[in-house]
Amino acid sequence: MKTRVIQDEPEEPLRPRYDSPRTSDSPRTSDRSERLTMSRLLYRIGHFSGRHPWRVLVTWLAIVAAAFLLNQSVGGANDESFRLPGAESQKAADALRDRFPQETVATSDIVFHSDEGLTGPAAKAALARARTDLAAIPHVIAVSDPYDARSPTVSRDGRIAFTTVAFDSNEKITAAQFDAAQQAIEPARAAGLQVEYGGGLAEAKGDDGGNSEMLGIGLAVVILAIAFGSLVAMSLPVVVALAALLFGISVIGILSGVVDVPKIATVVAMMLGLGVGIDYALFVLTRYRQNLAGGMPVPEAAGRANATAGLSVLFAGITVIVAIVGLQVAGIPMLTVMGWISALMVAVTLLAALTLLPAMLGLVGTRVDSLRIPLVKRRPTYNPRSKSSRWSALVVRKPLRYGIAAAVLLGALAVPVFSMRLGIPDAGNDPPGTTTRTSYDLLAEGFGPGVNGPLQVVIELNGADRSALDGVDTAVRADPGVASVGAIALSPKNDLAAFSVTPATAPQNAATDRLVDRLRDDVLPTALRGTDAAPMLTGETAMVKDLSAQLQARMLWFLGAVIGLSFIVLMIVFRSVLVPLKAAALNLLSIGASYGVVVAVFQWGWGASLLGVHETMPIFSLAPMLMFAVLFGLSMDYEVFLLSRVREQYRRHGDPHAAIIEGVGSTARVITSAALIMIGVFGAFVLDPNVQTKVFGVGLSVAVLLDVTLVRMVLVPSAMSLLGRHAWWLPGPLDRILPDIHPDMDDADALLPADAPSEGKTPGARPAELV
């Protein structure tokens, strides 16, 4: 392929122009000192860390140790409480808490089962003693009697019963209280009864969650060992990621003592921390090894790696942070916290990759490739005969054919998205054999599926008297979707009424959703017509419906914020309009395909049993928005790393098609290694017993797989080939306004401070090599 150099054209006012290759005489280089401050800062950080590694290492050790110790002393626990400001279900729940203070307690069900029956004298005596011992546990204020004639909780066949334990606070039930409950129910177990927990006591029991993060680290170690062929080089990204992870988790623990941090937020942050932490260190380390191979001294190699690859890492990380922080737009406190916690973890990994890693490089110096692994060969930076180069050349020659094929495949994978149904997994989705799943199944068997998701009707009387409630419970009971209705209770001031409704179907059944709609839109308004009373509905199913409605209402705003902010970042990075537009479109396509896989697995049940999921379920309501933010940011990571090299080559010789082939050929191996690490880390969490964690594990790992194969290796080369030199088009006014952050390696000496030594190979230097 011939190389064609495109000469700069004279700039005219307000005239769009192409970001063509520039020479050192370009007029835009005159003010480069003002535009490249970030590169110089990163160079100084890397150079200082490489020259004074022990200072940086000791500082990091002190900071991490302080955060860890502070977390141990003042850190809080995960809080799974959920609020939905402005929603009807939240208003009803708040009204219940404010005006029924005696009901605002932490409760937990204990389920008893015996095939021989629970109505005999021996079973009754065992349950009576268990209730007495449960009532003696500190902070327990009430233990219901299953045999109470007014509201018995024994199944019709007499084999299943449950008692509700109430604690004097709505705070989380502790492990000590669970241990005390274990001792209290021992007489029942001794009598041959099966005892299972639901609610707070089950959460305090804490079923083991596996060691997904350790498996992810193990997979990353194997991939790095194969990629680098050196035990020393392999260990550096892992150590950096683990240090960042320990620091980040400690900071999150400290914050959880101040704000409510759900467990799933910590899990997602851990997944991100491991994945991007290793990946970011991998890219900087790769450039450092190239610099060493080019004959640079250790501090200089570390400084230049920070100023070039580190700059790409910085802007890739900023893009991830911007995307995740966009969750603020959703207006849901839990989702906002999850976004900020994840962004915090990404920021910590960025800090570690740009400070701690150069210090470790300065410590190991030229021994970075020591302890070689047999049979693993080093490979050149760019090999025009490599598989990735030949493949990209094939795509560039026939971009429409390959681009359409990849787009059709991603579109087919995205088809299940159109049947996505949102919800929140409950104990019915827990692994079989766990106490929460067993108690859920026993309650459904003994009392009907709706008992696991009761609704609560709350009526604001607004000055109406008690007679306004006449017939309300009867009207609700007449609905075919209702199994039973509880007695109406009035608040102490007689200004609020409430009663429970047990649906005839399970909480995740679509029929229960339709029941909520009928009660809200028809049954309750009709029954209270002509009065000033205002009905509201709350409960888990009602809360989920309100959550889904709020997410749908905010989705366009969220997408606009994430895509818009990411577009601006990429436009600054690449000084192009079409490149970020192309990136956004391809990211939407790949994310839609990953959503489709998630729906097919968890909602349709395709292959779900292979992942340890034995029941179909709606998709976790918060997952689509959170996954979009994370995946959009991560996709931009690879976009920055790949197109930075394409842009570098294009600016050097001006041939857009050759630049694509060279860019893909020189980055494919390292990007593939980074993606495999990310897939391994995310995929390891599929083995976690928590089904919400499985959803994120499947969705994130599949998305990265699709991104690194169909998007990076097919759609990006084909789209860039079709765009040609137009890909780097930037309107004149934007060209003058946007800063030139220069994220590539051409004219490298201009990036650096005046006191930095110029690049040059020392005698006998080896050719630059990539992993």
526 in a domain, yes or no?
yes
* pLDDT > 90? residue 441: yes
Together in a domain, 258 and 371: yes
Quick one: 227 and 330 in the same domain? yes
Q: Which of 489, 519, 545 is the last residue of a domain?
A: 545
Mean per-residue pLDDT for 713-734? Answer: 91
On whether residue 386 sits in a domain, the answer given is no
| CATH number of the domain enclosing 443 | 3.30.70.100
Residue-level pLDDT at 20: 40
CA nearest neighbour of 650 among 209, 6, 35, 154: 6
Position with higher pLDDT, 578 vs 540:
578
Report yes or no on 383 lying in a domain. no
Indicate if 319 and 447 belong to the same structural domain. no
Based on the domain organization, do 450 and 525 belong to the same domain? yes
Last residue in a domain, options 375, 394, 409: 375
Q: Specify the pLDDT at position 329.
A: 83
CA 270 to chain CA centroid, Å, is: 9
> Do 99 and 164 contact (CB within 8 A), yes or no?
no
Do 313 and 285 fall into the same domain? yes
For all residues of the chain together, what is the average pLDDT? 82
From the centroid of its chain, how far is CA 673? Answer: 21
Q: How far apart are alpha carbons 589 and 595 in whole angstroms?
A: 10
Reply yes or no on whether the pLDDT at 681 is more than 70.
yes
- 227 and 194 together in one domain: no
Would you tell me how many other CB atoms lie within 10 Å of the CB of residue 281? 28
At 32, the pLDDT band (50, 70, 90 cuts) reads: very low
Are 49 and 189 contained in the same domain?
no
Q: Are 47 and 506 in contact (CB under 8 A)?
A: no
Confidence class for position 380, pLDDT limits 50, 70, 90: low
Q: Where a domain ends, among 545, 562, 597?
A: 545
Whether 281 is covered by a domain: the verdict is yes
Confidence band of 212 (pLDDT split at 50, 70, 90): low
Same domain, yes or no: 252 and 304? yes
Residue 260 or 534, more confident: 534
At residue 321, φ and ψ (nearest 5 deg) are -65, -45
The torsion defined by the Cα of 486, 492, 493 and 499, in degrees rounded to 10, comes to -10
Q: Is the pLDDT of residue 580 over 70?
A: yes
Among 203-217, 463-477, 592-606, the least confident range: 203-217
State residue 375's pLDDT score: 56
Domain enclosing residue 500, as ranges:
439-545
Tokens of 590: 């790949």
% of the chain surpassing 70 pLDDT: 86
How confident is the model at residue 705, as a pLDDT? Answer: 92
- In a domain, residue 604? The reply is no
Q: Is residue 572 part of a domain?
A: no
Q: Do 185 and 222 share a domain, yes or no?
A: no
Q: Are 369 and 244 part of one and the same domain? A: yes
- Do 239 and 158 reside in the same domain of the chain? no
CATH number at residue 163: 3.30.70
Confidence grade of residue 740 (pLDDT, cut at 50, 70, 90)? low
Is 114 inside any structural domain?
yes
In this structure, is residue 317 part of a structural domain? yes
Instruction: Output the domain CATH number for residue 247.
Output: 1.20.1640.10
Residue 742 pLDDT > 80, yes or no?
A: no
Distance of alpha carbon 578 from alpha carbon 188, whole angstroms: 70
- Tell me the pairing of strands 619-620 and 422-423: parallel
Give 619-658 pLDDT, tens digit per residue: 888 888 888 888 887 787 788 888 888 888 888 888 999 9
Of 120 and 384, the one with more pLDDT: 120
Rounded Cα distance between 255 and 187, Å, is 42
Q: What is the DSSP letter of 166?
A: E
Q: Kindly give, in sequence order, each residue whose CB lies less than 8 Å from that of residue 38, ignoring residues fewer than 6 positions away.
A: 311, 314, 741
Tokens of 15: 């005239």
pLDDT at 598: 94
Count: domains in the chain: 3
**307 and 345 together in one domain:** yes
